[in-house]
Amino acid sequence: MTDGMLLREAMSDPLLKRYQAICLDEAHERTLATDVLMGLLMEIIPKRPDLKVLIMSATLDAEKFQKYFNGAPLLKVPGRTHPVEIFYTSAPERNYVEAAVRTALHIHQCEAPGDILIFLTGEAEIEQTCRELREAAESFPETSGELVVYPLYSSLPPAAQKLIFSAAPKAKVAGGVPGRKIVVSTNIAETSLTIDGIVYVVDPGFSKQKIFNPRARVESLLVSPISRASAKQRAGRAGRTQPGKCFRLYTEASFNNDLQQTTYPEILRSKMESVVLTLKKLGIDDLVHFDFLDPPAPETLMRALELLNYHGALDDEGEMTDIGYKMAEMPLDPQLAKLMLVAPDYNCSDEILSIVACLSVPSIFMRPKEQAKAADEAKAQFANSESDHITLLNAYNAYLQTNRDRNWCWDNFLNERSLVQADSVRKQLVGIMTKLDLPLRSNDRKSAVYNTAVKQALTASNFMQVAYLLRNGSYLTVKDNQSVMLHPSTDVEGKPQWVLYEEFVLTNKNYIRTCTATNVEWLVATAPHYFDLSNFPAGETRDELELAYRRMANRK
């Protein structure tokens, strides 16, 4: 099972009495759930002397883990990989994408048969590299063998992802040079899957990491150097089926001196709301002294406690409330869990379930670069000019009306795999709603309140993620005072005065993504404890809130 599933099971069985042995594999990946599980096991082991625990990994900082588990014995199992020859550059590369293309073409022209795996950081780089390699391959003489190039990244349609497993092209004539396959991938190919036939690995030494800044409450995807453990893992991909070669596009001195030993664990660079809620449900109240392998920053924990308190999951003493227990039952972000809890009050739990299901899976909209205009036109038929959330709902409802037709998805640039996943998530959420005695209600789709009810429910759960339009035309997030812009992918038109958003992403600019226009009076009515004027600095936002409070008082 996944680490997340075992963690959820621990909520109902804190001593994990159903199990006599637990094996945590791929421990070096240090996911959030793995780290929490290890802390939990440290609490369980003294109470369960019969329990056997095995921590497994290919590239583990063994001493650190041994020390953490009170000097547990270490077993080394020799691997069956073939030898891999490693090459470094003599000087640092100015542009690692150009260097990767150059290296791959050099391998194709000069090295023995065998497929090539190039590691890059994201979709834009991968698509650019694939284009350049294909263009270069057209100018090669026929004697050099055919070259096929496949990209691999998470938002790629499933059919295109499967192409990486196809065999390299054969020689065009008998006795001729066999063709070669190049896979250009994100670090998904580092540990998650093995591609047969890979003999050469090109490693520029970078990957994208999600990093959470608790001060500004911003999650950003940053390109950062990989660790030495990751570099070894990448090199190992070349020696799975036969001896291979790894071309590292950085110097040996850089590898030894500049790269850190292991990747920063997720717990040091993630939001902690879900973790805090899980630990509270497990009966662990002293979060500061909980035995984490790497304790998270106190500020991240404070932010998590603050959010959970504003959402009513924890009271002012930090104890769990009834709302908190219900939110912990849902395998969702606390804000999405709160959204499901408030939805029946607005008679739109049926619609909210579909929206939450679509937000819990990879994007349901596809936008291939070469067909961007057609994809935008297809998305426009579902678009709602006031809410990206309702756009998702419209697309999901249209998918159901076509009886989940695969060809219809393809024609309308919808990711069928994500929609099937959303369907499955929705069924699970319906089960949880039933278990918690939350009614499934829906407004008439033709009624005037249909969209308004959805927007009000979203406001009641996303009131901490709101931005206000200043006179200069830019948006300012409430309380955190970050200057932001609506993401180019949004369908929200006409720059509404107040918008709520699902995520704040930092790329080359500050963007808010998946937005919905909201109303200042809804905000102060649903969350007066958050929009308390005594906590607000002077400015345009405060002036608007004061006016809203006055208008409401006059009506009373």
Q: What is the pLDDT of residue 178?
A: 83
d(CA 329, CA 426): 15
Q: Are 263 and 30 in contact (CB under 8 A)?
A: yes
> pLDDT confidence of 58, banded at 50, 70, 90?
confident
State residue 498 phi and psi, 5-degree precision. Answer: -125, 135
Give the 3-state DSSP-derived string for 381-437, with helices as H, strands as E and coil as C: CCCCCCEHHHHHHHHHHHHHHCCCCHHHHHHCCECHHHHHHHHHHHHHHHHHHHHCC
List C-alpha distances in Å: 392 to 71, 337, 494, 541.
Answer: 51, 18, 19, 29
- The answer on pLDDT for 95 being more than 90 is yes
How big is the CA angle at 347 (ends 341 and 352), to the nearest 5 degrees?
55
Window from 59-68, 332-341, 486-495 with minimum mean pLDDT:
59-68
How big is the CA angle at 471 (ends 468 and 477), to the nearest 5 degrees?
25
CB neighbours (10 Å) of residue 440? 12
pLDDT in tens, 191-249: 767 888 899 999 999 998 888 888 777 877 788 999 998 899 899 889 888 899 999 99
Who wins on pLDDT, 263 or 273?
273
d(CA 124, CA 332): 30
d(CA 61, CA 324): 37
Q: What is the pLDDT of residue 161?
A: 87
Q: What is the pLDDT of residue 497?
A: 94
d(CA 16, CA 516): 42
List C-alpha distances in Å: 157 to 9, 118, 300, 419.
Answer: 32, 20, 35, 12
List C-alpha distances in Å: 39 to 216, 237, 392.
Answer: 28, 31, 38
> pLDDT confidence of 537, banded at 50, 70, 90?
confident
List C-alpha distances in Å: 318 to 43, 289, 301.
Answer: 21, 15, 12
State residue 50 phi and psi, 5-degree precision. Answer: -80, -10
pTM of the model: 0.83
Window from 39-48, 63-72, 340-349 with minimum mean pLDDT:
63-72
> pLDDT confidence of 506, banded at 50, 70, 90?
confident
pLDDT in tens, 470-484: 888 889 999 888 899
Who wins on pLDDT, 433 or 285?
433
> pLDDT confidence of 106, banded at 50, 70, 90?
very high
Segment 93-101 shows an average pLDDT of 94
Per-residue DSSP letter, 197: T
Segment 19-48 shows an average pLDDT of 91
Q: What is the pLDDT of residue 345?
A: 94
> pLDDT confidence of 175, banded at 50, 70, 90?
low
d(CA 219, CA 504): 6
Who wins on pLDDT, 28 or 396?
396
- The answer on pLDDT for 514 being more than 90 is yes
pLDDT in tens, 293-341: 889 988 899 999 999 999 999 999 889 999 999 999 998 999 999 999 9
Q: What is the pLDDT of residue 466?
A: 94
Q: What is the pLDDT of residue 441?
A: 87
Q: What is the pLDDT of residue 455?
A: 95
Amino acid sitting at position 341? L
Window from 126-130, 166-170, 388-392, 403-407 with minimum mean pLDDT:
166-170
CB neighbours (10 Å) of residue 302? 12
How big is the CA angle at 165 (ends 162 and 168), to the nearest 5 degrees?
130
Q: What is the pLDDT of residue 171?
A: 76
